[in-house]
Chain A
Amino acid sequence: MHPAFQGLLTIAIGVSGCVGYFYFSNQFLDKVLFPARGPNAGRNINRANIIRPWLFLFPALAALGLYLAYPVVETLRLSLTDRVPGGGYTWVGLDNYIQMAREPKFWEAMRNNMFWLIIVPAMSTAFGLLVAQLTDRIRWGNIAKSLIFMPMAISFVGASVIWKLVYDTRPAEQDQIGMLNALYLFFGGSDPQTWLTIPFWNSFLLMIVLVWIQTGFAMVILSAALRGIPEETIEAAILDGANPFQIFFKIKVPQIKTTILVVWTTITITVLKVFDIVFAMTNGQWETQVLANYMYDKLFRANDWGVGSASAMVIMLLVAPILVWNVRNARKEME
């Protein structure tokens, strides 16, 4: 069957299945199980209303439970077991974690991830704030924002190709086709560099790709926050003779502190999951390994589910504080 036809068929089946489920389950509840007539009409309506929310929720809860909650438990279990050749698992306790801790590649990934975690959220938020502030009242600000926001729509893989061309290297006697080398030579560099193979610094070149993508996100959120600041506070500061920098750092930034924090944590989560960029640009060679790619390596190249799951749990552990913080904020907001 042609995949396009298959796709259309699935859309039809999936959509009508969903609609059908919701429609008929409600009909069943109201007409068959607890009909709103007869001697128990009142009680039946109440009973139906107790059950109905769960009819509405069931498919979503099933998807959430199966695809997000269950894997957390299962991955934890896998990280504490080893596969036995021929099927089955043996309990190995913390062996996988110990084995992982002995691997230099894991520590390389941890070290790089720490740099990613500090630099990408910081730079994206800083650039986002800068652009949001600068474009706020200039006439072509919306066009500028739109263009800086654009990389959000580009896939990590597409962005990797874009930046790989920027970092491209040709032998010294040839014309450079990568912008970075062309600029480097123009400003007096002696030899063209193969940027992505220079240990330590190459990680930063990969981070630039993510900063380039995430700045737009930070800008959009912070721009809205800046506009939400009450005018009076700024006018009062001007009357008191504050200069533009004081207004920005002492009046505006403190008022949008929580938004900055939200942006920061959201980007932090993206950073922890970053896989495609490293996978496509260096595949972890030349000391650019990160946790997500290390995990992929373990799971699908080394076929070691134990250590792979252990490294996934490390990612989960790093996300956990943000998870708790988010849940707490959400609950506070609802009260």
Chain B
Amino acid sequence: MSDIAGTKPALRWIVHASVLFLVVLWVVPTLGLLISSFRTSDQIATSGWWRSLFPSEQNLTLRSAAPETQVQENGIYVIEGNLFDDGTQATISKWGVSSRAVDAFEPGQTAELRKGGTIVVDAAGNYRMENPEEFTGSRGARVFVSAELPPEFTLANYHKVLLAEDSTDSMGRAFFNTLTVTIPATIIPILVAAFAAYALAWMDFPGRALLIAVVVGLLVVPLQLALIPLLKFHLNIGIGKGYLGVWMAHTGFGMPLAIYLLRNYMAGLPRDLIENARVDGATEFQIFTKLILPLSFPALASFAIFQFLWTWNDLLVAKVFLIDASGQTTVMTNRIVELLGTRGGNWEILATAAFVSIAVPLAVFFAMQKYLVRGLLAGSVK
């Protein structure tokens, strides 16, 4: 690339610009969801997330304090206060007291209230209601305002999604269930595959080449084929739908890639090392546990990341082998699909739930990217 970038400044500039463009294109959709998860449902529904970074013009319906707070001044009844009782720093541009004329007044003007009396609202939302007679009723007067509101973010969605007792929104249980599926389904296949990979890499026996070819072939068998036969099998042997079944299924489906990755790596270890150990009288079991396993750490880590991402992000296997009618064992991906169906409009819950489920794999991804890349390079059939 230096031949291109080094010699022609214009071309170099184009390269930078187009990479930047592609990166933005790839990141912005995720960013949109992330930002949305920190906004209230009203904010999400009324304006695009990209506007949330700037002050926004919004139409709000607010209410003055209730008549019980009125005081008497010089013979007239007065209610005073600020429409933004939560301390929001807003700038009102127009306001009104009737839903048919929401922008009838400028800040500072005086409006007649329908139930008697007058009201003055200034740009900051301070109001003063006056009435020669007593204000009646239990609720304050409605005031419609068009106001410029500063950007505002909230953690309330996360609180709701993670900690709410209410089971319709809560992801707490699903988060736990996902973890329960993922960890055994990552560790067990590694162990089983490591032994097999060692045998395929360093032991001599008839049919070895054939077995390796079979593993490569099984690498691409769609797991769709396995759904019904294995569900039937699980029901027959009595484990039915549950964690045990899903662990076994993930172990089976992850096995070809695990064997393939680990065998390729182990086959590349120096021959002398293993021969010397054999000459020194180490048993195969000792060679494997004391020598091969520690040396194969990079390959083990690569596969662990794959399997972790795959089981954490999986929907189909969990739906078929784990989730029963009770819904107690639901996983996060399944909860999100349910939310998409039942609460397609509730973006604040959906965005937050999605981000809770995305956060863990993203953390793993950025922490262990090196091993993931290495695994990808070794794992694609050459």
Q: Which residues of A contact B (CB under 8 A)?
A: 3-4, 6-7, 10-11, 14-15, 18-19, 22-23, 26, 30, 49-50, 52-54, 56-57, 59-61, 63-64, 66-72, 74-75, 78, 127, 130-131, 133-138, 141, 144, 146-158, 160-166, 168, 170, 174-179, 182, 212, 215, 217, 220-221, 224, 234, 238, 244, 247, 258, 262-263, 265-266, 269, 272-273, 275-276, 279-281, 292, 295-296, 299-300, 305, 308-309, 312-313, 315-316, 319, 322-323, 326-327, 329-331, 333-334
Contacts and interface: CB of A to CB of B under 8 A. Distances in A.
Contacts of B219: 326
Contacts of A60: 192-193, 195-196, 255, 259
A267 B343 CA distance: 32
A76 B340 CA distance: 34
A68 B32 contact: no
Contacts of B105: none
A305 B230 CA distance: 13
Given A179-B48, A280-B337, A224 B377 contact: yes
B373 A71 contact: no
Contact of B220 (A10, A170, A326): A326
Given A11-B184, A138-B5, A148-B26, A327 B216 contact: yes
Residues of B in contact with A, size category = 35 or more
Contacts of B16: 138
Chain A: interface secondary structure? helix
B203 to A, nearest CB: 4
A147 B222 contact: no
11 contacts: A3-B180, A4-B176, A22-B285, A56-B196, A64-B214, A69-B218, A144-B22, A146-B369, A157-B357, A166-B32, A292-B222
Interface string B42-60: 0011111111000000000
A323 B220 contact: yes
Contact of A155 (B36, B209, B361): B361
Contacts, number: 341
Nearest to A2: B176
* Secondary structure class of chain B's binding surface, majority of residues: helix
B71 interface: no
Contacts of A4: 176, 179-180
Contacts of B371: none
